Amino acid sequence: MTFKEQIKQGIPAILPSKKAYDISINHAPKRKEILSADEKKLALRNALRYFDAKHHAELLPEFVDELEKYGRIYMYRFRPDYKMQARDIAEYPGKSEQAKAIMLMIQNNLDYAVAQHPHELITYGGNGAVFQNWAQYLVTMRYLSEMTNKQTLTMYSGHPMGLFPSNKNAPRVVVTNGMVIPNYSKPDDWEKMNALGVSQYGQMTAGSYMYIGPQGIVHGTTITVLNAFRKINKEPKGNLFVTSGLGGMSGAQPKAGNIAGCITVCAEVNAKITQVRLDQGWIDEKITDLDKLVARVKLAKSTKERVSIAYLGNIVEVWEKFDTENVHVDLGSDQTSLHNPWAGGYYPTDISFEDANIMMAEHPKKFKEKIQETLRRHANAINKHTAKGTYFFDYGNAFLLEASRAGADVMAENKIDFKYSSYVQDIMGPMCFDYGFGPFRWVCASGKPEDLAKTDKIACEVLEEIKQHSPEEIQQQMADNIQWIKGAQENKLVVGSQARILYADAEGRVKIAKAFNKAIKKGEIGAVVLGRDHHDVSGTDSPYRETSNIYDGSKFTADMAIQNVIGDSFRGATWVSIHNGGGVGWGEVINGGFGMLLDGSKVASKRLESMLFWDVNNGISRRSWARNKEAVFAIKRAMKSEKNLQVTLPNMVDDKLIDSIN
């Protein structure tokens, strides 16, 4: 069968043969035992409902085996035989170009070069899933190959509920992930519902089909590191950034350190993923001995070298060794998947990676104790460094949150706040999000590198033109992004699809998108898919990350994210998504995202202008109402540019008046 024929058939009428478990692939760890005997039977019923009853007797023992061995039913037998990668949009079958664009993005999320655990349909973060099983993938791709522009596909946590009549202006796909009743949003609730096959963790851009490999977070981390060094009045050259985590998107940290120009040490316990990052060029060197690591860092400091080093081992050992050896750390953070601490997102000290995976599945209570013991050690080591002048920031991975829950010394004197700020509070919030700058991204649907190069040039020209009349308050942001886009080709950031990201405000996003659409109309480039990370101005309500610099008491509300996805859906998005959970954990955040196909048409031009303006200014208005002065400045500027925009502005209260109350 051809690729198109395989897509169109969905679940094959004749069962494919069983597939061997490929040990060369980086697999998800076994999930812990969470289901009762009756619940296991329910999970099996749920899995078998995708298949004709005549196949149930053959598939049942296989699914029983998967549930026992892996804690989930992945349906490995149904993995497609074709290569999983984003193809030229013209290679996909279908009646709708918009649907073809979505198929392209789904396959990009599952590309072996992109996905963390591709056979388990997990893109990054240990549990950020595109689908729960391979039957869902097959049915979804079939629906997309059949749908017209008068239908919408409804996705319930990876399950394609069906094609419904809509209209050409409606989104082609609406995605929800993990949207459970609030009182059922604890980690074990996710474990149980995911094992039953009824809910999944979509992360931020995994379950919304908008992940572009580590490039997305490379840019955000580069901006963060540059501004962190500015904050401590140091240049990156010859100075040290220490962090951890190379799995999934966190492989971006050493690459970002190289772009910023500092020395980066990133610890990782998984030997397989460390080697992958070395082979991909995301790290320069790998070291397995702490004494050699100390010597190498001291040499790099003495020569003011730009280098990224992976230490194969636990990050706690690095912090403790650098303390005893008096290796000064300038910047420190952490990017392990601590939103998922009990299922492979973070590993304990003094136990091998392999033994930890066994303990995780077979002795979860003991594993949790070891994790919390490690977190206390981790925090104590960091505290010793910060006492010597290290600037440590929480990078939004729930490190401080989980450390506090473990009883680690991370709380401020008031016992309410953390002693270290989130990077959003200190850097990204006031410098970027409040001004409307966030991660605008695009994918060249042709798959041609030359199209990406042309879009880079177009985006750079647009930004340089905008910068000429931009106010002083955002000149630094403009300069950083122009520098980034000029070096994008040189830094070899593409993994998977021909994609790019840069931080832009509403003006930048609209003007860049319009320029792309004109180039498509002229035939200079092929179609382009627009999107963004959920980690942005408007799309995410996350009190420990994206909205951690909201101080009016509303940071635990999620009106902004919900309004965002509803507003995007009727303003022209090709697909929209809303998730419970993300980089800081299940039950800790609501994330909303979108995708939009540009095809060179007048309709696309109108849609992008309406939707992108809303997608940014929704968040700025909320941030201005919280009395963030940068956001007040930004929303006033937006109202001047758009006469139909009227936003309620806050009246500032004299602090002395409030303080006079007994």
Beta strand pairing status for 590-598 and 540-541?
antiparallel
Contacts for 3 with CB less than 8 Å, ≥ 6 apart: 82, 87, 91
Residue among 387, 364, 396, 646 at smallest CA distance from 533: 396
Place of tokens 């966030």: 438
Q: What span, in angstroms and rounded, lies between the C-alpha atoms of 623 and 629?
A: 9
Place of tokens 């910023």: 260
Q: What span, in angstroms and rounded, lies between the C-alpha atoms of 170 and 166?
A: 6
Q: What span, in angstroms and rounded, lies between the C-alpha atoms of 309 and 301?
A: 13
The answer to whether the annotation marks 70 as part of a ligand binding site is: no
Alpha helices in 118-213 (DSSP H): 134-146, 187-196
Pair of tokens at residue 382: 């960091």
Q: Tally Cβ neighbours within 10 Å of residue 183.
A: 8
Q: What span, in angstroms and rounded, lies between the C-alpha atoms of 639 and 641?
A: 5
Region of 261 on the Ramachandran plot (φ > 0 left; ψ -120 to 50 alpha; else beta)? left
The answer to whether the annotation marks 178 as part of a ligand binding site is: no
Total residues belonging to the chain:
662
Sign of CA dihedral 420, 381, 240, 242: negative
Which H or E run contains 253?
helix 252-260
Residue among 646, 589, 653 at smallest CA distance from 627: 653
Q: What span, in angstroms and rounded, lies between the C-alpha atoms of 165 and 274?
A: 47
Orientation angle between helical segments 315-324 and 290-303, nearest 10 degrees: 60
3 state SS of 15: coil
Identity of residue 49? R
The answer to whether the annotation marks 395 as part of a ligand binding site is: yes
Chain centroid to CA 171: how far?
22
The answer to whether the annotation marks 143 as part of a ligand binding site is: no
Place of tokens 């001995």: 289
Q: What span, in angstroms and rounded, lies between the C-alpha atoms of 65 and 81?
A: 22
The answer to whether the annotation marks 156 as part of a ligand binding site is: no
Q: What DSSP letter does each residue of 418-443 carry, written as one string?
A: BSS-BHIIIIIHHHTGGGT-EEEEEE
Residue among 131, 254, 253 at smallest CA distance from 197: 131
β partners of residue 124: 128
Contact (CB, 8 A) for 117 and 247 = no
The answer to whether the annotation marks 97 as part of a ligand binding site is: no
Beta strand pairing status for 575-580 and 173-177?
parallel
Binding positions are: 125-126, 203, 268, 395, 583
Binding positions for NAD(+) are: 125-126, 203, 268, 395, 583
